[in-house]
Amino acid sequence: MSDPQREAIPPSAGRSTGLFRVKSIEQSIRETDEPDTKLRKDLTSWDLTIFGVAVVVGAGIFTLTARTAGNLAGPAVSLAFVFAAVACGLAALCYAEFASTVPVAGSAYTFSYATFGELIAWIIGWDLILEFALGTSVVAKGWSQYLGVVLGGRQPIWHFGSHKFDWGAVLLIAILTGLLIMGTKLSSRVSAVAVAIKLAVIALVVIVGLKYFKFDNLKPYIPESVPGTDDGTGKLHQTLFSLVTGSGHSTFGWYGLLAAASIVFFAFIGFDVVATAAEETKDPQRNVPRGILGSLAIVTVLYVAVSLVLTGMVSYKDLQGDDATLATAFALHGVTWAKNIISIGALAGLTTVVMVLFLGQTRVLFAMARDGLMPRKLAHTGSKGTPVRITVIVGVICALLAGFVDFGTLEEMVNIGTLFAFVLVSVGVIVLRRTRPDLKRGFRVPLVPFVPILSVLACAWLMFNLSVETWLRFIIWMAIGMVVYFAYGRRHSLLGLAKPDLTKE
């Protein structure tokens, strides 16, 4: 049966000159059938929803909720989750349209190649490498900490003089590397089991927590703003918004709430990974939008419910400090057994977070390698239809990062990278509607251009509320990416090496 996406290609579908050469959507779809770089189509909408819930419900619900309530937002942390969810929801609509129109691995990278051209595609690909690599490594270290709790307080860390080696995080990444090599369908089945475990734990937390719930603990819902102390690095640690407006580094109040929304956004990281699996999905025009929007709706309800119960159980002042978790609230009520139950749920939850972020990293690199922007040999797929070489390389790099690096505040780097990708995808929907109105779209964003513009503004606002230090690190990373592109990617790009007319078979 003929596919209208592969035929009747208008002359404007591909441009092959300059830094902003565009790779046509038809060409991207054709390349998915190349035997040497072909991925297996095994996933359903249910698999994608599981992947979405698997990657989103994890670190945020077990750690960020309590910490953010105690240090930034107070009981209003539930509102911070709503703000972050709105921004994610707007971006999710844009991702759903793109993924149903361009069902090709690579997510925002592939979408940008079809709309803005190669240079912008490289920038967003480099940005996604940062997001997924740091996300995988940071969450693997969080998993290792919970493993220590389950092991009776013995942290899985070896000391070599002044150096530490987190063998727990490395072990997890090594196991997941083997699992992903064996195929995405098997990974989805493992995710389904882990998701069932952590949802059961979350349900238990909410049910038991309601027994100790007091409305008085939610007052004041938005605590009065408290000025921050200047330790000599205040300008770097305060949000960009605070620096520009001169409000200073403050906690609680509206400034604290807005900063909290940018921080808890980390808890939603990953739903966009669903889009990276579009090429491995049966009927992607229908199933990818369902997977993206369905998983986001489920996790938003879970986050708001848990944050309300948590801040209703104890005063937010009891959650201050860097060590507060969900278990802290239960311990204050003498429910000590909850600590172990929550730790088991966290282990299950964080396992799937690491796995799906890992999957996203390999698929973005796979797409870039298939285009020649990364070494082409990396795009080779094994007998099981998975990019084995890329999976092994990513596993080794993430294992080294998780095993030896103390990330500190680097988790914010994941936030800014993701938000930047959301902005480009949202703008891309408007651009593609104008340049390729002829394309068949399995899902259409309503009220274009209003919704995409609103998505851009919401994501830009959250970026504005990240720290100055995070912005500086992000700029440095992107500058390194530009050097790599001009030194390697531009000279090896298959689109650049091809004949000028890419619109012909």
496-502 LR contacts (CB < 8 Å, sep 24+): 496/16, 496/21, 496/118, 496/372, 497/372, 498/16, 499/16, 500/16, 500/17, 501/14, 501/16, 502/13, 502/14, 502/15, 502/16, 502/23, 502/24, 502/27
**pLDDT of amino acid 235:** 61
Locate 306 and state its tokens. Answer: 């848990």
**pLDDT of amino acid 13:** 42
Place of tokens 């297996």: 40
**pLDDT of amino acid 60:** 62
**pLDDT of amino acid 410:** 61
Please report, for residues 26, 433, 493, the alpha-carbon distance to residue 503 in angstroms, rounded to integers and kept in the order given.
8, 19, 17
**pLDDT of amino acid 478:** 92
Each residue's pLDDT tens digit in the chain (505 positions)? 344 433 333 434 445 457 788 888 788 888 777 777 777 777 888 888 887 887 777 756 767 788 888 888 889 999 999 888 888 888 888 888 888 888 787 778 888 888 888 999 999 899 888 888 888 888 888 888 878 877 877 888 888 877 888 999 999 999 999 988 887 767 777 778 888 888 888 888 889 889 999 999 998 888 887 765 544 445 666 666 666 666 555 577 777 787 788 778 767 766 777 777 777 788 877 888 888 888 888 888 998 999 999 999 998 888 887 777 777 888 888 887 877 787 788 788 788 888 888 888 888 898 899 899 999 888 888 666 778 899 999 999 999 988 888 766 566 677 788 888 889 889 999 998 998 888 888 889 988 899 999 999 988 887 887 778 888 888 999 999 999 999 999 999 888 877 444 333 3
Please report, for residues 46, 50, 334, 442, the alpha-carbon distance to residue 289 in angstroms, rounded to integers and kept in the order given.
11, 13, 44, 8
Closest alpha carbon to 315 in 84, 85, 77: 77
E-assigned strand segments in 353-495: none
Please report, for residues 118, 313, 451, the alpha-carbon distance to residue 72 in angstroms, rounded to integers and kept in the order given.
40, 18, 29
- Number of C-beta neighbours around residue 214 at 10 A: 11
Which residues, in sequence order, are bridge partners of residue 43? 281
User: Which residue type is seen at 292?
Assistant: I
**pLDDT of amino acid 450:** 93
Max alpha carbon distance in the chain (Å)?
71
Helix, strand or coil for residue 251? Answer: strand
E-assigned strand segments in 80-211: 157-160, 163-166
**Distance in angstroms (rounded) separating the CA atoms of residues 496 and 473:** 31
Output the pTM of the full model.
Answer: 0.78
Q: How many residues does the chain have?
A: 505
Helix, strand or coil for residue 365? Answer: helix
